[in-house]
């Protein structure tokens, strides 16, 4: 598939990043979609031709009688109408444009230059995108529904454990086989439905420590295969969390992976400092509190190395007291001023005009105050992670449903309306799960308001 050569700016933006831009192949993420639309249109035209020749077909089946001939002609006409309708629907999805977003950003999964444009647009307009951990199609539905309601982009995030859960806890997980298969399957599912919600979607993976790198290696292979067939990677971005390793090793491994990822237009998120608390098998509850706060010099050292990678796009999760989970007030001390001082430090080092040369991400967003979130966004935060709050919201939706309908959820038959009345419509899993989806979507819409991610399309 031929690709277009275009200048790809580094995600760490500013005058320096612009001057260091590299020319690399960036195939349009709409190529496959346009081919599908053309195919559907041709199918519709072919169906119309079939319909116009239906009289000839009728002559050929006179032996069946007039009724059979008319039925055959009607079936041909109906097929033509259905094909034309599908073609029109696909064309409408493909041609939808956003009036506020950069022209490269379209509905559906966003990758490559379009992703860089989206993140830069978020930083320039001081809003952040929610990065939401999901564990199945129900939480995916809630993410996409919230984005549609709010009118903003969303990041769907797969963890290693979430991938295994999607594959099924009984599946063979030798060499992370279930974790890999579930994550890939989840990504393909999101790609299949994302455009139907009419919003930009970032496909991302969460914390990957050093021992879990084989999981990322397999996902990169999946993206490389997808890129060869479709001109874009399967995922939009991956996160490497090597914050427990020495700084030099952290940077070196990230640079090695970014070099590979840049060849297929994948963005890297890397972590400096440690996010406290526990999440999805990573427990930093007892870490030295000094490691919860990143120093500007560490970010500058990282920036220099990663910005030197041709076509390399990256974001930095610099710790400023972040903790996974929800804790009592006073137990967590966020210092977003660290991000402001870091931007100032790097701007001086670069001698650039931009006040925010680095694109930061905010980990451990659940339970954070509105004031801290807003101050962090002003420092160049373009994405905030959410998991604990959305987990609770989903459960609370299911829990409230069961409380409300408790008399109908005790037996298959028999309820306050009579001993022989069936309860199937109450215990159908789709009903309670839908309540979970709606509750999680509502919590996400509130989060998007806190992140200024409302009416951005």
pLDDT tens by residue, 212-269? 999 999 999 999 999 999 999 999 999 999 999 999 999 999 999 999 999 999 999 9
Closest CA relative to residue 208, chosen from 200, 198, 218: 218
Exposed / middle / buried, residue 229 (Cβ in 10 Å: 0-12, 13-18, 19+): exposed
Percent share of the chain, pLDDT over 90: 67
Count how many Cα atoms sit within 13 Å of the Cα of residue 10 in the half-sphere of its side chain: 28
Query: Quick one: average pLDDT of 279-292?
Result: 49
In 178-291, at which residue ranges do the beta strands (DSSP E only) sit? 200-205, 237-240, 267-272, 277-279, 282-284
Number of H helices, E strands in the chain: 16, 15
Query: Quick one: average pLDDT of 60-85?
Result: 56
pLDDT by residue (tens digit) across 328-366? 444 557 788 999 999 999 999 999 999 999 999 988 766
Reported as type and span, the H/E element at residue 129 is: strand 129-134
Report d(CA 57, CA 53) in Å as an integer: 7
Residue 78 pLDDT: 74
Q: What is the pTM of this model?
A: 0.78
Residue 189 confidence (pLDDT) above 90: yes
Query: Quick one: average pLDDT of 135-150?
Result: 98
If pLDDT is split at 50, 70 and 90, which confidence band does 96 have?
confident
The lowest-confidence range among 72-76, 106-110, 299-303 is 72-76
Q: Which residues of 101-114 are buried (b: 16+ CB within 10 A; e: fewer)?
A: beebbbbbbbbbbb
User: Domains in the chain and their CATH numbers?
Assistant: 108-396+430-451 (3.20.20.70)
Distances, alpha carbon 198 to alpha carbons 3, 34, 98, 194, 358, in Å: 26, 16, 9, 7, 29
The lowest-confidence range among 37-46, 81-90, 210-219, 302-311 is 37-46
8 Å CB contact between 55 and 73: yes
User: Which residues are marked as active site?
Assistant: 206
Residue 30 confidence (pLDDT) above 50: no
Residue 303 confidence (pLDDT) above 60: yes
3-state SS, residue 297: helix
């Amino acid at each position: 598939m031929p690709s277009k050569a275009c200048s790809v700016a580094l995600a760490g933006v500013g005058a320096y990043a612009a001057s260091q831009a590299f020319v690399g192949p960036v195939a349009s993420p709409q190529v496959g979609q346009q081919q599908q639309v053309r195919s559907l249109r041709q199918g519709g035209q072919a169906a119309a031709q079939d319909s116009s020749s239906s009289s000839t077909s009728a002559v050929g089946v006179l032996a069946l009688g007039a009724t059979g001939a008319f039925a055959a002609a009607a079936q041909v006409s109906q097929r033509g109408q259905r094909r034309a309708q599908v073609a029109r629907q696909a064309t409408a999805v493909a041609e939808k444009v956003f009036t506020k977003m950069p022209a490269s950003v379209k509905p559906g999964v966003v990758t490559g230059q379009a992703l860089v444009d989206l993140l830069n647009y978020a930083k320039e307009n001081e809003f952040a995108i929610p990065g939401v951990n999901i564990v199945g199609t129900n939480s995916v539905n809630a993410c996409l529904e919230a984005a549609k309601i709010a009118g903003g982009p969303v990041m769907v995030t797969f963890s290693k454990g979430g991938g295994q859960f999607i594959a099924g806890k009984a599946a063979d997980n030798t060499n992370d086989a279930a974790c890999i298969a579930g994550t890939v399957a989840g990504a393909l599912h999101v790609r299949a439905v994302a455009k139907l919600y009419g919003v930009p979607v970032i496909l991302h993976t969460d914390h990957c420590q050093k021992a879990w790198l084989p999981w990322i290696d397999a996902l990169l292979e999946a993206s490389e295969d997808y890129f060869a067939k479709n001109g874009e990677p399967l995922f939009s971005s991956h996160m490497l969390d090597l914050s427990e390793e020495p700084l030099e090793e952290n940077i070196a491994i990230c640079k090695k992976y970014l070099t590979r990822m840049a060849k297929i237009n994948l963005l890297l998120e890397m972590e400096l400092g440690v996010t406290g608390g526990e999440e999805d098998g990573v427990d930093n509850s007892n870490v030295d509190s000094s490691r919860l706060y990143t120093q500007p010099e560490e970010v500058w050292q990282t920036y220099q190395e990663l910005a030197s990678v041709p076509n390399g796009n990256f974001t930095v999760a610099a710790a400023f007291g972040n903790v996974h989970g929800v804790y009592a007030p006073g137990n967590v001390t966020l210092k977003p001023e660290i991000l402001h001082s870091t931007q100032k430090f790097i701007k001086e080092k670069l001698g650039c005009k931009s006040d925010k040369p680095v694109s930061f991400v905010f980990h451990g967003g659940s339970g954070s105050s509105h004031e801290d979130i807003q101050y962090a966004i002003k420092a160049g935060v373009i994405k905030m992670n959410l998991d604990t709050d959305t987990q609770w919201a989903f459960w609370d939706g299911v829990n409230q449903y069961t409380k409300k309908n408790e008399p109908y959820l005790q037996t298959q038959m028999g309820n306050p309306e009579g001993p022989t009345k069936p309860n199937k419509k109450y215990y159908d899993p789709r009903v309670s799960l839908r309540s979970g989806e709606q509750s999680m979507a509502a919590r996400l819409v509130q989060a998007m308001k806190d992140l200024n991610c409302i009416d951005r399309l």
